[in-house]
Chain A
Amino acid sequence: MTRDEVQAVVFEAIKHVAPEAEPESVPKDVDFREELDIDSMDFLNVITAIHERLGVDIPERDYAKLYTVNGAVSYITAHCTR
Chain B
Amino acid sequence: MPSLGADMSAGTLVAWLKKPGDAVKRGDIIAEVDTDKGVIEVEVFHTGTIERLLVEAGTSVPVGTPMAVINVASAAAVGSAPVSEAPKTTASARPEPRPATARAPAAATAAAPEPTSLHVAAGASKMPRLRISPSARRLARELGVKPTDCHGTGPGGAITREDVKRAAGASPHSMPSEVDAKTRMRRAIGQAMSRSNRDIPHYYVAHTVDLTDTLAWLSAYNEAQPVPKRLLPAALLSKAVALAAREFPEMNARFEHNQLVPVAAINVGMAISLRAGGLVIPALANTDQLTLAEVMAGLKDLVARARRDKLRSSELAGGTITVTSLGDHGVQSVFGVIFPPQTALVGFGSPSLRPWVVDGKVLPRTVMDISLAADHRASDGHRGGLFLTSIAKHLSRPEEL
Contacts and interface: CB of A to CB of B under 8 A. Distances in A.
Nearest to A60: B222
A18 B308 CA distance: 8
A51 B227 contact: yes
A41 B227 contact: no
A20 to B, nearest CB: 6
Closest 6 CB pairs of A and B: A51-B227, A39-B328, A41-B303, A60-B222, A37-B275, A19-B135
Q: Helix, strand, loop or mixed for chain B's interface?
A: helix
Interface in A35-82: 37, 39-42, 44-45, 47-48, 51-52, 57-61
Interface in B8-35: none
Interface in B210-234: 219, 222-223, 226-228, 230, 232, 234
A44 B230 contact: yes
A61 B218 CA distance: 12
Contacts, number: 51
B138 interface: yes
A21 B308 CA distance: 12
A20 B276 contact: yes
Contacts of B234: 40-41
Contact of B232 (A18, A41, A58): A41
A40 B348 CA distance: 14
Interface string B120-164: 000000000000001100100000000000000000000000000
Given A18-B307, A42-B303, A60 B223 contact: yes
A47 B331 CA distance: 24
B372 interface: no
B308 A47 contact: no
Contacts of B228: 48, 51-52
A52 B228 CA distance: 9
Interface in B60-90: none
B308 A45 contact: no
B299 interface: yes
B227 A58 contact: yes
A58 B222 CA distance: 11
B219 A19 contact: no
B300 interface: yes
B304 interface: yes
B219 to A, nearest CB: 6
A57 B226 contact: yes
Interface in A12-34: 17-21
Given A17-B304, A19-B134, 7 more contacts: A19-B138, A20-B135, A42-B307, A44-B300, A48-B228, A51-B226, A60-B222
B304 A44 contact: no
Contacts of A47: 227
A37 B307 CA distance: 12
Contacts of B308: 19
Contacts of A44: 227, 230, 232, 300
Contacts of A21: 275
Contact of B328 (A40, A48, A58): A40
Interface in B283-326: 299-300, 303-304, 307-308
A31 B308 CA distance: 23
A17 to B, nearest CB: 7
Nearest to B327: A40
Nearest to B302: A41
Contacts of A18: 275, 307
A71 to B, nearest CB: 17
A48 to B, nearest CB: 5
B230 A60 contact: yes
B242 to A, nearest CB: 18
A51 to B, nearest CB: 4
Given A18-B307, A19-B308, A40 B226 contact: no
Nearest to A51: B227
A48 B227 contact: yes
A59 B219 CA distance: 10
B275 A20 contact: yes
Contacts of A37: 275
A20 B230 contact: no
A20 B135 CA distance: 6
Nearest to A58: B227
Interface in B335-394: none
A41 B381 CA distance: 33
B374 to A, nearest CB: 26
